[in-house]
Structure 1
Amino acid sequence: MAENLYDIIGNIKIPRMIRVRQKFDAVEITDIEQAVRREMQQKDIDDTIQSGMRIAIAVGSRGICHHKDIVKTVVSVLKEKKAFPFIVPAMGSHGGATAKGQAEILASAQIVENYVGCPIVSSMETVKVGETNEGHSVHIDKRAYEADGIILIGKIKPHTAFRGSYESGMMKMMAIGLGKQYGASICHQAGFKNMAHLVPLFGNVILKQCNILFGLSVIENAYGRSFMVKALTGDKIPDEEPKLLEIARTKMGSILFNNIAVLAIDEIGKNYSGDGQDPNVTGRFITPYAANDVQIQKICVLDLSEETRGIMVGIGCVDVCTSRVLQQARLEESYINAITSTVFTGIHLPMMLKNDYFAIAACIKTCNEVDIDNIRMVRIPNTLEIGEIYISESMLEDAASNPCIEILGSPEEMEFDNSGNLIKKEAFWSH
């Protein structure tokens, strides 16, 4: 008879894994500075910038390819036009809903004054700029409101918790990101069931009451590389953003295998997705207002990203994690994010086991109607970077028959150290 939990799962066979490349549309921007400058040289965009203007550049917390260079280029163009730019974090309640925390998130992406060339003005203070026709108060960052104009820089992508004409993008950045914790909580109060309705409702009030010069939208390909940048003046955002969202939807990556029993994710974090793990990849949505056909029996998470700074949102969407996830977690700051969004699912604690081996083994042992000695298992570094992944040996035949899969190596053991943790995770992905 087994003496304890770890005896029960201590003899589980971990499959040998094979590195494969998933083939998606790889078109990307090769010169991001040139692309941004080209967008800003359009006459309608260029005309919004006048000499002497103090311009607030709203920058969010989402991981964006070339993020710091996009911001730096925008700052450079504004200074060449004799304007005076400064950056405001536009990230709702992220960073523990503190000015210092939000500045630190930008700094983790190297968006700092010495690099981008302008001040970072981080504050949680907001001002009311108006009301929706349904009576909601609409707030934005006070420093941005007091500027002569506002520029938005953000990523367009499908949202993780609702579906609508506007999901993650310029409208949401205005309604929730610029609203800081207070404004974001007002918009979230009606729940994600109503988010598709409320985001444009709030966004249109801001467009009417504030001087939104333009939004610079970024669309990434399935490899997390910049596919498109598009500048839209404030008056064009309502009509054009839905078209950009549809383009972004076609560029999303996915795991190109079916019947996956176990998914091992090296790390989750807010830099990868608002939900830590992107449910568009994992199928684990925090609300019933967004869904897809992805079904995976068990998911384990081995770590938090450094960039997420202990914010563990998304851990509640998986089945097992390692104990070091909780050791790193900044619980109260994570709870602020959940309270602001009104959804607690993402911060619920899963089963926590003491090392990588047992987290993976528990998932394998508890899958139903499978041959656990030939488990169908996938390992990914995170849900943003899924161009190259690892599949178990039992999935090799599927890989060989799929023209969108390139086999990059031979089966190899997952090596664990004496503590039961994977050895050289970085080397596993880089070799």
Structure 2
Amino acid sequence: MNFPDRGDVDALIDPQPLPDFARVQYEPETAAVDDPSAAARTELDRLDFDGLEAGATVAVAVGSRGIHRIDDIVETVVADIRDRGFEPVVVPAMGSHGGATPEGQREVLESLGITESRLDAPIDARMDTAQVDTVTVGDTEFPVHVSTAAQEADAVVVVNRVKPHTNYSGRIESGLMKMTVVGLGKQHGAKAFHSTAIKEGYVETLEAALPVVESALPLVGGVALVENFHEETAHVEAIPAGSFTDREPALLEQAYDEMATLPVDDIDLLVVDELGKDVSGAGMDTNVIGRYRVLNAPDPDEPSIKLLYARGLTEATKGNGNGIGLADITRQAALDQLDLQKTYANALTSGSTAKAKLPLVAPDDEFAIRTALSALGGYDPDTVRIVWIQTTQDLSTLHVSEPLVDELPAAAEVTDLESLAFSDGTASFTRE
């Protein structure tokens, strides 16, 4: 498919005067764990390994998210398991991510710094599953699948971050439960789960499936991580098997209190430099941008963002552009990075096809910005509310249009005044 270039569309929208911008350092005060790896090693003592014989295989389930120091934490968990006299093996617990292939899931882990050579342990990325039972949720029956690699281990430990989910809100969202049910369900299990959850509810489906998965797996427990505003580790806690449902809601509440948010809630145009699976399951954190775009799940009330321009994908997402459909505008450079096979595999498995839709494709930054400002209607550079961020995971350094400066919270400090300029259509900020 050929998209219009500048020669095709340049005359359609006249250039508008641009507002001035302020570079902002946004640093809310938050607590952090000094050494998350050491904390994880200490916490593992809370899990019961006593029933295992020397040399037993312990599967460490790891997902696809760009969690703070996840490579160091997984390395420590693997080393601790080895020090206890067991044989660790890493099992990707990421549903269909990585294009739903063993090679793709290995590639995702590698992008996070998790490799066999670093861990001195094998990675078993088989996509094989076994259907262990069928559960009924509301009026729907669905098959529960579990990773064969995890089932073949003598024990399983899951490692994941507890955080607000990108598709819904409830007492259980992203965390150990979801990784156990959905991540270790691989592509087949994830697809069955999502199709049921969209209709019957995510929390209800998780709570129905978890006991079945726990009975089918030698689950010892999990290491739960909570991050603060700066995406640093704020809390590390090992939770024994059987206690996920009781403990996760409190950790989720802490995650909501700590999570990153934009410094203002009412925005005309949000510009996001990069989206990707390493940033969020939805490419962009939907709680940051205020858009779920999921059937039967209303969008959050805040923030209110009229238009969103996504400029590109992260390197670590390896072409998986799931979430690009959350944007209103993108550019050709983002499409050049896009791997539709991976993107569609993710969307079809999750049942959230809206996130894989292509927005309007501009030839470059300059035309994208012109298009957005024109689409706002009644555009005025003296009042327009623009926020420009790198990713929804990194909100410490950002730009805001000058009309927003007086509304910034106390934790946001203006460090410079800059102008937006274009060189061959590509945007950059320059000091005034």
- Answer yes or no: is 1:358 the counterpart of 2:364: no
CA distance in 1, matches of 2:51, 2:299: 39
Instruction: Specify whether residues 48 and 404 from structure 1 end up closer, same or farther in structure 2 by C-alpha distance, changes over 3 A only.
Output: farther
Residues 275, 313 of structure 2: 8 Å contact kept: yes
Shift of residue 180, structure 1, vs aligned partner: 0.4
Unaligned runs of 5+ in 1: none
1:32: which partner in 2?
36
CA distance in 1, matches of 2:121, 2:109: 13
- Answer yes or no: is 1:289 the counterpart of 2:276: no
CA distance in 1, matches of 2:283, 2:235: 24
Shift of residue 259, structure 1, vs aligned partner: 2.7
- Answer yes or no: is 1:68 the counterpart of 2:55: no
2:380: which partner in 1?
371
- Answer yes or no: is 1:204 the counterpart of 2:211: yes
2:268 counterpart (252, 261, 282): 261
Residues 160, 290 of structure 1: 8 Å contact kept: no
Tell me which amino acid in the other structure corresponds to 1:30.
Answer: D
Tell me which amino acid in the other structure corresponds to 1:281.
Answer: V
Shift of residue 207, structure 1, vs aligned partner: 1.4
Shift of residue 190, structure 1, vs aligned partner: 2.0
Question: Tell me, what secondary structure is at the counterpart of 1:215?
Answer: strand
Q: Write the mapping of 1:10-21 to structure 2, written as runs, cut at 5 A.
A: 10-21=14-25
Deviations 1:114-173 (A, max 9, x none): 112211111110112233255532111101101001110111111111222211111111
CA distance in 2, matches of 1:389, 1:51: 52
1:279: which partner in 2?
286
Shift of residue 24, structure 1, vs aligned partner: 2.3
Tell me which amino acid in the other structure corresponds to 1:291.
Answer: D
Question: Tell me, what secondary structure is at the counterpart of 1:313?
Answer: coil
2:346: which partner in 1?
337
Q: Which has the higher strand share?
A: 2
1:220: which partner in 2?
227
More divergent stretch after superposition (10-19 vs 112-121): 10-19
2:171: which partner in 1?
165
1:7: which partner in 2?
11
- Answer yes or no: is 1:90 the counterpart of 2:98: no
CA distance in 1, matches of 2:378, 2:306: 10
CA distance in 2, matches of 1:146, 1:195: 28
Question: Tell me, what secondary structure is at the counterpart of 1:15?
Answer: coil
Shift of residue 223, structure 1, vs aligned partner: 0.9
Tell me which amino acid in the other structure corresponds to 2:258.
Answer: K
CA distance in 1, matches of 2:383, 2:195: 46
1:121: which partner in 2?
124
Tell me which amino acid in the other structure corresponds to 1:19.
Answer: R
Instruction: Specify whether residues 283 and 133 from structure 1 end up closer, same or farther in structure 2 by C-alpha distance, changes over 3 A only.
Output: closer
% identity of equivalent residues: 33
Unaligned runs of 5+ in 2: 1-6
1:107: which partner in 2?
110
Instruction: Specify whether residues 258 and 170 from structure 1 end up closer, same or farther in structure 2 by C-alpha distance, changes over 3 A only.
Output: closer
More divergent stretch after superposition (279-288 vs 219-228): 279-288
1:140: which partner in 2?
146
More divergent stretch after superposition (363-372 vs 86-95): 363-372
- Answer yes or no: is 1:413 the counterpart of 2:419: yes
More divergent stretch after superposition (121-130 vs 174-183): 121-130
More divergent stretch after superposition (193-202 vs 167-176): 193-202
Shift of residue 291, structure 1, vs aligned partner: 2.9
Q: What do you get for the CA RMSD once the two structures are aligned?
A: 2.0
- Answer yes or no: is 1:154 the counterpart of 2:160: yes
CA distance in 1, matches of 2:203, 2:81: 33
Shift of residue 32, structure 1, vs aligned partner: 1.8
Question: Tell me, what secondary structure is at the counterpart of 1:260?
Answer: strand
Residues 299, 318 of structure 1: 8 Å contact kept: yes
TM-score, length-scaled by structure 2:
0.92
Residues 150, 217 of structure 2: 8 Å contact kept: no
Shift of residue 311, structure 1, vs aligned partner: 1.1
Residues 164, 196 of structure 1: 8 Å contact kept: yes
Shift of residue 314, structure 1, vs aligned partner: 0.9
CA distance in 1, matches of 2:18, 2:331: 16
CA distance in 1, matches of 2:288, 2:51: 38
Instruction: Specify whether residues 265 and 49 from structure 1 end up closer, same or farther in structure 2 by C-alpha distance, changes over 3 A only.
Output: farther
CA distance in 2, matches of 1:173, 1:189: 17
2:194: which partner in 1?
188
- Answer yes or no: is 1:130 the counterpart of 2:133: yes
Question: Tell me, what secondary structure is at the counterpart of 1:85?
Answer: strand
Residues 51, 82 of structure 1: 8 Å contact kept: yes
Question: Tell me, what secondary structure is at the counterpart of 1:385?
Answer: coil
Shift of residue 331, structure 1, vs aligned partner: 1.0
Residues 25, 221 of structure 1: 8 Å contact kept: no
Question: Tell me, what secondary structure is at the counterpart of 1:184?
Answer: helix
Shift of residue 195, structure 1, vs aligned partner: 1.7
2:61 counterpart (52, 58, 71): 58
